[in-house]
Structure formats: structure tokens, C-alpha cells
Amino acid sequence: MLETTAETTCPHCGEVITLFLDLSVESQEYIEDCSVCCQPMTVCYSADNGELTDLRVESGN
């Protein structure tokens, strides 16, 4: 598993949060709660050869 961290901003509260991503998966979309405000957000990311190529975080509701 090629695990890494990425910092992003919560679309609800605006706080900077750290996400843990598995870059051995080429692309993934899942729901995760913000570690600050606990609101759901959709995390979408893509990776190529173990390198993060795209990361988007959107309001989950």
C-alpha cells in the first residue's frame, strides 16, 4: 500500500484538515467526516504511479 497524507480545506467549516490516502488505488471516491466539524464531505482523488494527481473535496450533503 502506498499511503500518503494530503492537506485540504473542509467545504463546511473552512478548516485545514489532513486526509490519509492510499495511492496504490488509481482513483477513489468516498464520504468522510471532517475531523473538525464532523460534517460529511465527498473525497475524490486520482493517482498515477503512486503520485497524487488530483484531489477534490466537496460538501457531502
What confidence tier does 54 reach under pLDDT thresholds 50, 70, 90?
very high
Cell of 57: 473535496
Q: What's the rounded Cα separation, in Å, for the pair 46 and 58?
A: 15
Q: Across the chain, which distance is largest between two alpha carbons, in Å?
A: 33
So what's the pLDDT on residue 61? 60
User: How many Å is the Cα radius of gyration of the chain?
Assistant: 11
Residue type, 45: Y
Per-residue confidence (pLDDT) for residue 2, from 0 to 100: 85
Tell me the C-alpha distance between 35 and 25, whole Å. Answer: 23
Choose among 4, 2, 16: nearest CA to 57.
16
What are the tens digits of pLDDT across the range 22-47? 999 899 999 999 999 999 999 999 99
